Structure 1
Amino acid sequence: MKPLEEVRWGIIGVGNVCEVKSGPALQQAQGSKLVAVMRRDGAKAKDFAERHGVPKWYDNAEALLTDPEVNAIYIATPPNSHEEYTLRSAALGKPVYVEKPMARTHTECMSMVNACRRAGVPLFVAYYRRALPNFLKIKQILDDGIIGDVRYVQIVLNKPLRPDIVGASKDPDNWRILPEVAGGGYFYDLASHQLDALDFFFGPIVHASGYVMNQSRAYPAEDITIGNFRFANGILGTGIWAFNTGESSNRELTTIVGSKGQVYFPYFGDHSVTLKVDGKKDEVFHFDISPHIQSNLVQRVVDELRGIGKCPSTGESAARTNWVMERFSERVDIHTIGKS
């Protein structure tokens, strides 16, 4: 594909993620414009366009996809339509930036990758932590060997099963707890960020296994996942993602342990990084992150499309994260345990 002089975006699905995290990022990036938005509810599409100063709005995806002024597509719909819109965009020769998780299944991911490859158009995925300064700091610490040889990684994410979340399961807009839409539950929504960042730090995970259960039965998707994994370089990892705990257990932390120390950090909310090295005083690094949190990655996407840089989050790298999540999903029904 020839470099674009200017990237003129059309968004399919202007929901909440586009309000602050990504929409303004497309408008503010150098060499980038947001020229059209689409939502099936035309009134909501029109409202978004007027509030954000977007020239065009549509209530039909085909109209946006075929708009000659639009030369790049951002797909911000739930995962069950990512494959369809990616294939349609690729067929029109338009590069794609798609929300995470990339799709519901690894098979859908590879369908997207192959379609874009055949069409000769780039495919990027919104794993924006690959371009945030706190995660670049962690990568620098690891690459510089400051904590020695990395031995293992541990992820802990506990979230309480709150009544508002349970009640939201009856809300058709809460697609995150509907496996037929999201691919899984809150695990797919949040753990995908964590596992993708580890791929960024260490390279591909080559072996993964685990269990998922729906212990509370508060909504259709799993509410707890446990996984073990191994990277190609021999680093081991384990993770537990529980979305059914009490308030007192609410915790989210990832720890990377090496032969000379460790680094630990949260993924969500707090942007700090803590470094502990044997024989030295602990260091805590704090970072100011823009509310338009996708800005850094969007600029990398725009730069690559203009032929002046490379984006670190591609369809190929994102598909690996879906592969890992699927390896964790040996499903166990708690209500049949111990029964013959």
Structure 2
Amino acid sequence: MQALIRPMLFAALGLHALVLFVPFPKEPQKPPENKESPVKITQLPTTKSPAQNKTLKAAIAKPNKPTLPKINRATPNPVIQKSPVQPKAAEAPSPAKSQTLSKATDNMATSFADFPQYQPSTPDCFEKGLGENCRIATANLAAIATFYQSAPKAKGFTVTPAEESAVTKIFSVTSKSGETRYLSLFSDEPTTVILLSSEKITDLASLKGSVNPPADYVELLANVLPEGDRSDSPANNANPEQFDQPQMFYNIVNEAELQQGTIPDLRPGIDTSPKLAIGQAPAVFYSATLEPELKGIFQEVVKQGQYGGGDLYRLKKGGTTIYLNLIPVKGQEGTIVVTWLKDPTQS
């Protein structure tokens, strides 16, 4: 082993000596740099005339695309989807307005809806709010009486003479359902007045003097007063003891009967029993509750003065004039509502 190490050592030394003494090529020398300042070269812009541009664009022709024949395709009909029809809810009928029935006349019942009317004639005689129930014709009394003795019979009505005078003819008229009305004919030269009513009216003067409060006014009282319609319900009727001056509103017989609870008759001209509005004094009740509505119903709303210890208002609509009397309740805060069909200060 030692015999191999020594020759290998000498071989390694010889190899290193050979590498050290082998000559290497010299690095080539760089040429000397030019110390002169560099020259800056600026390229001048070249512009082409518009004519050259157009010529150039024309020279480059775009390849033509092949034209495909137009194909007419059938357009399918659009499908419209109908939404399912929703059944309409039945409309609730609006509550019927309370109607004013005159003591002399009322609205025609259904059985009198086809009662014949003499023509030519004008409804709502004397502007009393009687509508079709009261008409004025230019023909004389005899001609109109002849018409009503035959025309109603053709429609199933039974006409029977009731009273007759030189200026008045009154008939009892019965419908097929058995309802009875009175047909009154009054000579009022140069016209004739025709009245169909539930009660017998025997003279023209009482008809001309009759007054009906407008239906809107009656409905107003029904809305602002409990059971405030024209019915004589004791729930909201005023009693004579609640007035400071009951003699201004009632025909007082004697004090003893009044103390026993006897309710005397109302004075003529009052439309139904006076009504109570407990809790508000007359001035407050009028301004807060009645005044805005009254001015929407009547053309004229005028404070005329006082009567019976309370304010009196004149209400006018067309040819109809009524009077509203607001009386303080005796012994408690509240208002008694009295409707007059004539001016109480003139009676």
Normalised TM-score (structure 1):
0.27
* Larger RCO, structures 1/2 (Cα 8 Å, 6+ apart): 1
More strand by share: 1
Instruction: Select the structure that is richer in helix.
Output: 1
